[in-house]
Amino acid sequence: LTVETGPIEAAHAVGEALALMARRLQESGIEEPRREARMLAAAALGLDLAGLILHEGRPVGDAAARANAMLARRAAHEPLSRIRGEREFYGLPLGLNAATLDPRPDTETLVDAVLDHLAAAGGGHPRILDLGTGTGALLLALLSRLPAARGIGIDIATDAVEMARNNARSLGLGDRAVFRAGDMMQGLDTLPGFDILSPDGVFDAIVSNPPYIPSADIAGLAPEVRLFDPVQALDGGADGLDFYRRIAADAPALLVPGGLVALEVGAGQASAVAGLLDRGGLMAIDTRRDLAGIERVVSGQTRARL
Ligand SMILES: C[S@@+](CC[C@H](N)C(=O)[O-])C[C@H]1O[C@@H](n2cnc3c(N)ncnc32)[C@H](O)[C@@H]1O
């Protein structure tokens, strides 16, 4: 196939459009340009990957404008999930907007850790608090696996709260999840909807994937992150640990006996965060690695009832 340059036109065959996309993405410094081009073309043309091969010779037609627009965004390093407006997390389709972090596969490690803990704690109607909920990823993944659980998700960004609420509704989880705007645990007990967790408003698990990038490191992040994830979702203060300090200080008082705090951490932060949870009075401090072998989750528990 001769690879032309320039925009995709209606008369181009799907295979030619794919080649044009791959060339443009390569020129823009996107890694794995062919694979990215296939995913982008599939999204633009409304086909799956098999359909792209099957219809290789078919003209692109009306989809050319959409394909060019999507290509320009990806060439500017916008992540494909943002271009699509959707990301799959723990098997759930989650809507994204400019105020939400694009949930990462590594964060699924935290969901597994909490599910294991709650299974070991046994049955009941677990109540879960998700601090810095973003799209609602953690809370919604947990509720999707725990039919008797309820929870509350808090975020400082009101547009993220709106998106989390929409996600809960479209996943059929809206009656067991409330989402509220707020500053971490501050004023939590006065928030409308907190009574979803009655009688005593304490939690079996507090989860968080807080902002944890040291402020000075943000400028050096990949453009996909630096330019498109909201800085409010990234900035963890001078050493990246500001939110862990607050959670370690305030979370234990909100937990039932034997309750769990489980936190995602950045690479190299696990031992510092374990120290903070220990000093906050938590026990059974544990770490869990992600699929790349990086210590990704740190957890601790309150003393169990005797
Ligand atoms: C790293 S993102 C995690 C989002 C989501 N939980 C996930 O795992 O995909 C951190 C989130 O914390 C929120 N956040 C930042 N400061 C906050 C604060 N003071 N109180 C509550 N949420 C905050 C951000 O808006 C962002 O949604």
The closest-lying atom of ligand 1 relative to the alpha carbon of residue 264 is 8
Say how many Å lie between the CA of residue 211 and the centre of ligand 1: 6
* Mean local confidence (pLDDT), 251-278: 96
Candidates 97, 104, 156: which one to mutate for ligand 1, based on the most atoms within 8 Å of Cβ?
156
Instruction: Report pLDDT digits (tens) over 174-216.
Output: 999 999 999 999 988 777 666 655 445 489 999 999 999 999 9
This model's pTM is above 0.85: yes
pLDDT at residue 248, as a whole number: 98
Say how many Å lie between the CA of residue 197 and the centre of ligand 1: 21
Instruction: Report pLDDT digits (tens) over 286-304.
Output: 999 999 999 999 999 999 8
pLDDT at residue 189, as a whole number: 75
Length of the chain: 306
Say how many Å lie between the CA of residue 155 and the centre of ligand 1: 6
pLDDT at residue 197, as a whole number: 54
pLDDT at residue 196, as a whole number: 54
* Mean local confidence (pLDDT), 96-125: 94
pLDDT at residue 305, as a whole number: 76
Residue whose pair of structure tokens reads 């994830």 in the numeric block = 229
* For ligand 1, atom 9: residue with the closest CA: 103
Instruction: Report pLDDT digits (tens) over 149-167.
Output: 999 999 999 999 999 999 9
Percent of the chain with pLDDT over 70: 94
Percent of the chain with pLDDT over 90: 88
Strands 150-155 and 86-89: unpaired
Residues having CB closer than 6 A to ligand 1 are: 101, 103, 107, 132-135, 137-138, 154-157, 160, 183-184, 209-211, 232-233
Say how many Å lie between the CA of residue 122 and the centre of ligand 1: 29
pLDDT at residue 190, as a whole number: 74
The closest-lying atom of ligand 1 relative to the alpha carbon of residue 208 is 6
Lowest mean pLDDT among 89-98, 198-207, 249-258, 260-269: 198-207
* For ligand 1, atom 24: residue with the closest CA: 233
- What single-letter amino acid sits at 86? E
4 band by pLDDT with thresholds 50, 70 and 90? low
Contact 168, 150 (CB under 8 A): no
Q: 249-264: b or e for each residue (b if 16 or more CB lie within 10 Å)?
A: ebbbebbbebbbbbbb
The closest-lying atom of ligand 1 relative to the alpha carbon of residue 107 is 8
Lowest mean pLDDT among 5-9, 62-66, 88-92, 281-285: 5-9
* For ligand 1, atom 26: residue with the closest CA: 233
Say how many Å lie between the CA of residue 254 and the centre of ligand 1: 19
**Interatomic CA distance for residues 3 and 6, integer angstroms:** 10
pLDDT at residue 132, as a whole number: 98
